[in-house]
Chains A and B, each alone.
Chain A
């Protein structure tokens, strides 16, 4: 199994009464009422430091992502972050996982094909090319994508990007959403015909079906913990079997919030405020921003209205204890964390753990301590899972060779 450090790059110093002032972390908060550009500069740098620290500590990959017009996480262009990470990790056995640029929001999408190709070249073929469809607010409000066209655009854009990466001849693209008369991309990725492709989804929409159809890796970005993901994971593995794909765990990545300290009590104490900050201030999104008409295709809409696993959860009413007890965050001593993680990852058949080792208002020192403990005390116990039986076909080829046991870089 592999473990990668995921980061949202949130605003870390929101006012205590943020929830009273704003209905949502998305769209509504006014920059000049809430934010300080100097501080934001520090956050971007701290985020890069933390990701690079994780790379050095022995995590297998570092992940960036794209969001807009919110306090939850605002790497507006993840390629900018990714290029720093690619440059700074040269020579290390670490994947640059862009999770990533949102195709439907970028016109023409060959721009993303170029940026990713640059990253693959800079990193020496260590890129994982992630393609999220984008949150409804990101795509439709911040970037004016027509809601009912978001997935259609995504699919056409991905086909165009893949062709642009590998076509031997110049070609014209006459699509429904994109028309380009002469495509001859410079540069092309080192990894041919394309870098490994990962596609995130929340588990509600039709994304998983599409991803399995194309034999890419599905990244379940749930934020509600392994304990609450069994239904989605089971559906996913049933789908994989139905479509005649193998049961290789590496076709499934899963995001998990993790907080580690020397003892369970200390961990609960250390991470409580940051968990509350993350779920109540940042993640909470009212339904009118999550369910913009058209963002879910008709069958998924009917499905969500019939049985929405998250309906009835009001994050703003929950406390740290709830987030811990319900398993949204796996928190505790190294022993507790590795036991819970091992159980969860086995149960869901996770090949790539996307560890959210920074969340909410965590200061950089705490994040680094968390990374240290994870890399030293947890990761070595997880690494052996699956590798005896399965090859990770969704990983940069140059990084697939067996690596030394993780972790000692930081300790030494």
Chain B
């Protein structure tokens, strides 16, 4: 996997410094990572980069050297407008936009707020809607015994092993774990304690052709939510992924990359 170019952008009146990892060639695709930061998603982003130029920004507060940026954006509105500034700054026209979990919610919200700025929309197990009969599990407070089975269809599979793996070197280990925890803190800021910021009131504004990808064994947010999203987004299509939980792009990267790339077009 080629090392991506890392571009540092200063945004939001120079108060937020963010890294955007850029890789591949082809039509532009912006990818928004989930609650655990960009690091676990890198291999998947590299697959998308086989057909697109992928721009993967880090959520505010998760870029190296700027953890305090988490305190700069005060509200959901700030965050949505911030992403508008970020995408404007990249000067991509109306790129395809993809996101996983929290990043999926962010992508959908942005597509509703700025419908002419998004060419195509791919949502991978997004959060953001709520059903009382199917409460979304709080991924920031998972007990040791439920953590793996909540996130992965196969708790001992390769995807899970890689996701939970930590380096042997003590300093690297601290760094990886700190990033892993802090990414949850920074994203969780905007969806705690219930990941419903009222997206359902705004989904009618989404104009981009939309693909909804869902792990059939997602035990964080049930696959029934795929239909909840599809019902609200005109013309949206659903692809369910076999043998995959909340992180289908890590558990079944080939299958997810294929349906995403077929939909986005290279």
- Minimum CB–CB distance from A30 to chain B (whole Å) comes to 16
Within 8 A of A (CB), among B10-29: none
- Minimum CB–CB distance from B148 to chain A (whole Å) comes to 13
A287 to B147, CA, bound (A): 12
A144: chain B residues at CB < 8 Å are 192-193
Taking a contact as CB atoms closer than 8 A, the residue among A146, A286, A302 that contacts B192 in the complex is A146
Q: Is the CB of A294 within 8 A of B143?
A: no
- Minimum CB–CB distance from B154 to chain A (whole Å) comes to 22
Q: Is the CB of B140 within 8 A of A292?
A: yes
Taking a contact as CB atoms closer than 8 A, the residue among B67, B143, B144, B188 that contacts A293 in the complex is B188
Q: How many A-B residue pairs have CB under 8 A?
A: 63
Q: Does B255 contact A (CB under 8 A)?
A: no
Q: Does A149 contact B (CB under 8 A)?
A: yes
A301 to B177, CA, bound (A): 9
Taking a contact as CB atoms closer than 8 A, the residue among B142, B177, B188 that contacts A294 in the complex is B188
Is the contact region of chain A dominated by helix, strand, or loop, or is it mixed? helix
Known: A141-B141, A148-B188. A293 touches B181 (CB 8 A): yes
Q: Is the CB of A305 within 8 A of B143?
A: no
Taking a contact as CB atoms closer than 8 A, the residue among A148, A298, A302, A306 that contacts B189 in the complex is A148
Sample of 15 more A-B contacts, CB < 8 Å, known A149-B189, A287-B144: A23-B143, A146-B188, A146-B192, A147-B185, A147-B188, A147-B192, A152-B71, A176-B74, A286-B143, A286-B144, A288-B144, A288-B147, A293-B182, A294-B186, A298-B178
Taking a contact as CB atoms closer than 8 A, the residue among B141, B144, B181 that contacts A301 in the complex is B181
A286 to B145, CA, bound (A): 11
- Minimum CB–CB distance from A200 to chain B (whole Å) comes to 22
Q: Is the CB of A302 within 8 A of B174?
A: yes
A23 to B71, CA, bound (A): 33
Q: Is the CB of A302 within 8 A of B178?
A: yes
Q: Does B70 contact A (CB under 8 A)?
A: yes
Known: A148-B70, A302-B174, A305-B177. A294 touches B193 (CB 8 A): no
B68, B71, B145 — most chain A CB neighbours (10 Å): B71
A23 to B142, CA, bound (A): 12
Q: Does B184 contact A (CB under 8 A)?
A: yes
Taking a contact as CB atoms closer than 8 A, the residue among A141, A146, A152, A298 that contacts B182 in the complex is A298
Q: Is the CB of A293 within 8 A of B185?
A: yes
A contact residues vs B (CB 8 Å cutoff): 23, 140-141, 144, 146-149, 152, 176, 286-289, 291-294, 298, 301-302, 305-306
| Chain A: CB-nearest residue to B175 | A302
B140: chain A residues at CB < 8 Å are 147, 292-294
A292 to B140, CA, bound (A): 7
Q: Is the CB of B182 within 8 A of A301?
A: yes
B67: chain A residues at CB < 8 Å are 298
Closest 9 pairs (CB-CB, A-B)? A294-B185, A293-B184, A298-B67, A293-B185, A146-B192, A148-B185, A305-B174, A293-B181, A148-B189
Taking a contact as CB atoms closer than 8 A, the residue among B141, B174, B178, B186 that contacts A288 in the complex is B141
A291: chain B residues at CB < 8 Å are 181
A133 to B91, CA, bound (A): 44
B173, B189, B192 — most chain A CB neighbours (10 Å): B192
A sample of 13 cross-chain residue pairs with beta-carbon separation below 8 angstroms, ordered by A number, consists of A140-B193, A144-B193, A146-B188, A148-B189, A286-B144, A287-B144, A289-B141, A294-B184, A294-B185, A298-B182, A301-B182, A305-B174, A305-B178
Q: Is the CB of A148 within 8 A of B186?
A: yes
B contact residues vs A (CB 8 Å cutoff): 67-68, 70-71, 74, 140-145, 147, 173-174, 177-178, 181-182, 184-186, 188-189, 192-193
Taking a contact as CB atoms closer than 8 A, the residue among B68, B177, B185, B193 that contacts A141 in the complex is B193
A140 to B184, CA, bound (A): 14
A315 to B70, CA, bound (A): 35
A301 to B67, CA, bound (A): 11
A287 to B177, CA, bound (A): 14
A147, A288, A294 — most chain B CB neighbours (10 Å): A294
- Minimum CB–CB distance from B158 to chain A (whole Å) comes to 24
- Minimum CB–CB distance from B137 to chain A (whole Å) comes to 13
- Minimum CB–CB distance from A148 to chain B (whole Å) comes to 5
| Chain A: CB-nearest residue to B142 | A288
B192: chain A residues at CB < 8 Å are 140, 144, 146-147
| Chain B: CB-nearest residue to A27 | B141
A148 to B68, CA, bound (A): 10
Q: Is the CB of B68 within 8 A of A298?
A: yes
A292: chain B residues at CB < 8 Å are 140-141
| Chain A: CB-nearest residue to B184 | A293
A152 to B185, CA, bound (A): 14
- Minimum CB–CB distance from B264 to chain A (whole Å) comes to 32
A298: chain B residues at CB < 8 Å are 67-68, 178, 182
A288 to B173, CA, bound (A): 18
A306: chain B residues at CB < 8 Å are 174
- Minimum CB–CB distance from A350 to chain B (whole Å) comes to 32
| Chain B: CB-nearest residue to A143 | B193
